[in-house]
Structures are given as C-alpha cells and as structure tokens.
Amino acid sequence: MLEKIQEDISLASRHIEVLRAVADHQPIGIIKLSELLNVPQHRIRYSLRVLESSGYIRASSAGAIVTPKAEEMFMHLNEDIDEIIRIVSMMKQP
C-alpha cells in the first residue's frame, strides 16, 4: 500500500535535485545535468519536463533556467518537508 508513496517521494526527490542543479548551474542542458548528477539522460529529460510544466523552470536557447516560482518553492521547502514528516510520523504505531 505504501509502495506508491515511496515511489512518489523518490521521484519528487529527484525533481528537487534536478531543480537545485539547474538553479546552481543555469543555464544548463540535459547532457550536462546528466553528467553532473550521474542520472541517465532520459530521467533528466522527464524531470525537466515535469518541472517546466509545473512552472519551476523554463527553457532558453542556452539551457534550462529557474523561474521565480522555483525561488519561492526553495524558500518554503524545509517547512513543507517538515509538515510531510509530521503527517507521516503520525501514521506510525506507538
């Protein structure tokens, strides 16, 4: 039952890792991101597509760059993760 949640968290973690790398090295392309993160290009491509469709990055002629929405997300990331941890912790048996 919780396998899907684990997969979703793992995928979200990769998307955040890619977004951080874009923010730190922008503009950056798929090949460079793949080498930098040691993640296959097809997975980088998928993460970039998800991030772009969510408005966190945009494509430029030189590569991906972050948007103000990404900067806003980074400002609240720790609090959002803490809230997720709080909710999941409540599920544990005593």
Rounded CA separation 9/26 (Å): 25
Tell me the β-bridge partners of 20: none
Report helix angle 3-25 to 68-90, nearest 10. 150
Q: Model confidence over 2-46: pLDDT tens digits?
A: 899 999 999 999 999 999 999 999 999 999 999 999 999 999 999
- Helical H runs in the chain? 3-25, 30-37, 41-53, 68-90
pLDDT digits (tens, 9 = 90+) for 44-74: 999 999 999 999 999 999 999 999 999 999 9
Distance, CA of 28 to CA of 91 (rounded, Å) = 40
Domain boundaries, the chain: 6-90
- Whole-model pTM: value is 0.90
CATH number for domain 6-90, candidates 1.10.10.10, 3.40.50.620, 1.10.357.140, 3.60.10.10: 1.10.10.10
Per the listing, tokens 């990055």 go with 57
